Structure 1
Amino acid sequence: MSNQQTAVRDLSTIKDFIRWTFSRFQHADLFYGHGTDNAWDEAVQLVMGALKLPLDFDRDMLDCALTHNEKKRLLRLIHTRITKREPLPYLLGEAWFMGLPFKVTKDTLIPRSPILSLLENEFTPWLTRYPLHILDMCTGSGCLGIAAAMVFEDAQVDLSDISDAALAVAEHNIQRHQVEDRVQAIHSDMFKALAGKQYDLIICNPPYVDAQDFKNAPPEFHNEPELALTSGEDGLDFTHDFLSQVALYLQDDGILVYEVGNTETALQAAYPDVPFMWIELEQGGNGVFILTKEQLSDLLQERN
């Protein structure tokens, strides 16, 4: 009898499957970093998410027996998580960001940007006035831009990406959160489709992983779209091009909020005279800077 047949026979309740999944994950040497950071939370979220049950489900109801089809679905997801190292949000088709659910697919990164903590605080004290026009470039699932629309309820928000497949997911999330009157998805290769536009706030979580870091990353990361992760040998190809243009798309008192993660050191070395404001993030993480329109204009003049 196969392990799956044995599990279908021997496991009965929600609680059984959480405990068994945890045990399997404990011995599988998985990487956690796409919504959880340990085997127990991953097991709970997989089982409850697959069954469409809330995490605060009545504990007394965890003794409910599962149907044969529910067991088979859970076993298939557990097997895929272990053998293919697919991140859990891809298996469930959903990730949470700023308390909001977002559809995700393998065409989008899984939401986890530390820019979240700045957004929750409305980018104070760096944003000096209410932003009426916001751009979320390299939007992927649309999570940052849609969350910004939730925070700044009078703002018009553009979500841009070079990937049509990612934009289709972002469109779904725009409809899901009912912000289609204020948020639009735009296919654009960097700024090419944004001519004439200017923004009070530009947010960008671009591809920035350098070649060596990507090569050494856990298998889970290799299930995410490489287009959204890597950008040349040092991870800065996109950023060099972006910084040479972005000043033209900011209002006079606008700001840029940009994430470069571990590529922070390489960026500082490449631009030793640029006064990057590196932000201390409340929820951890690193490599997020802010620059003003004036600072970016100075950089543009130097490069020209």
Structure 2
Amino acid sequence: MSNRQSALRDLSSIKDFIRWSFSRFNQANLFYGHGTDNPWDESVNLVLGALKLPLDFDKDLMDCKLTIDEKKRILKLLNERISKRTPLPYLLGEAWFMGLPFKVSKDTLIPRSPIMALLKDEFQPWLEQYPVNILDMCTGSGCLGITAALIFEGAKVDISDISLPALSVAKENIIKHQVEETVEAIHSDMFDSLQGRKYDLIICNPPYVDADDYQTAPEEFHQEPELALTSGFDGLDFTRKFLTQVVDHLHDGGIVVYEVGNSEIALQEAFPDFPFMWVELEQGGNGVFVISKNDLITHSL
């Protein structure tokens, strides 16, 4: 009898399937880094996600029995997660970011930027004025820009991306979170379609993975769009160009919040005298810097 047949016959409750999924994941040598960081949380997310139940689902109902169709749905997702190494948010079509659900597809990165820690604090102490105009460049699913629009009420937010399929997903998330009046999705290769627009705050989580890191990354990462991950041999092709153009798109007093991840060291070596303000992230993560318009002018490249 196969594992699938045994599960269909012998397992009955939500709790049974979470425990069984946990055991399977422990044997599968998967990578966790797309919403969870361990096999137990991955199991809970998979089972509740398959059943369309919220993560704060009443634990007293964990003994509820499942229908055959519900069991088959869980087993199908479990098999794809293990056999294809597909990140769970792609299987569910949804990822959570700062407590909010966002639609995702294989055309978008899965939301996980450590910039969220700064968003929660409204970019203090770096943001000197309330941001009336905000840009989220390389927006992907739109999670950073849409969340910023919800936090900074009344701000006008542009979200841009070079990928039309990614922007299509972002537009769905704009509607999902009812921010159509304040958030505009713009197809743009960096600043090409943003001429004449200036901002008080520019957020950017660009492609920055270097060639070596990409080649050695777990299979799960290779299922995300390479366009949104890689940027040349040292991961800095996009960043070099961005730093030469961004000053023209900032209002006086404006700032840039930018993520380069593990390419932080390469960036510091490439620009040793540049006044990047590296952020210490309480929840972990690295490679996020803040820079002001004044510093960009003083140290123009």
Which bin holds the TM-score, normalised by the shorter protein? Answer: over 0.9
Cα distance in structure 2, aligned partners of 1:273 and 1:227? 29
Cα distance in 2, alignment partners of residues 57 and 254 from structure 1: 42
1:219 and 2:227 equivalent? no
What residue is the counterpart of 2:185 in the other structure? 185
Q: Corresponding residue for 1:124?
A: 124
Q: Normalised by the size of structure 2, how large is the TM-score?
A: 0.98
Q: Match for 1:174: what amino acid?
A: I
Aligned-partner Cα distance in 1 for 2:45–2:122: 30
User: Counterpart of 1:245 in 2: which secondary structure?
Assistant: helix
Q: Distance in 1 between matches of 2:172 and 2:236?
A: 30
Distance 1:248 1:257 in 2: 16
Aligned to 2:236: 236
Alignment of 1:1-304 (within 5 A): 1-300=1-300, 303=301
Q: Which amino acid aligns with 1:238?
A: F
**What's the offset of the Cα at 1:64?**
1.4
CA distance in 2, matches of 1:119, 1:37: 22
More displaced stretch, 86-95 vs 131-140: 86-95
Q: Secondary structure of the residue that 1:134 maps to in structure 2?
A: strand
Q: Residue 133 of structure 1: CA displacement?
A: 0.1
Alpha-carbon displacement from aligned partner over 1:76-102 (angstroms, at most 9, x marks no partner): 100000011111111111111111110
Contact 1:244 1:299 in 2 (8 A): no
Residues of 2 paired with 1:143 and 1:125: CA distance?
22
Q: Deviation of residue 120 (structure 1)?
A: 0.7
Q: Are 1:90 and 1:106, in contact at CA under 8 Å, matched by a contact in 2?
A: yes
- Residue type at the aligned position of 2:195: A
SS of aligned partner of 1:241: helix
One-letter amino acid matched to 1:145 = G
Deviation at 1:298, TM superposition (A): 2.9
Identity of counterpart residues, as a percentage? 71
Tell me the SS of whatever aligns to 2:28: coil
Instruction: Write out the 4+ residue segments of structure 1 that deviate beyond 3 Å after TM superposition.
Output: none
Deviations 1:24-70 (A, max 9, x none): 00010111111111111110110011101122322232111111111
Which runs of no fewer than 5 residues in structure 1 stay unpaired?
none
Q: Deviation string for 1:91-119 (max 9, x for gaps)?
A: 11111111111001110001111111111
Checking the alignment, whether the CA contact within 8 Å between 1:209 and 1:230 is kept in structure 2 is yes
For 2:36 and 2:75, the matched residues in 1 are separated by 20
Structure 2 distance, partners of 1:286, 1:58, is 35
Q: TM-score if structure 1 supplies the norm length?
A: 0.97
Counterpart of 2:79 in structure 1: which amino acid? H
List gaps (5 residues or longer) in structure 2. Answer: none
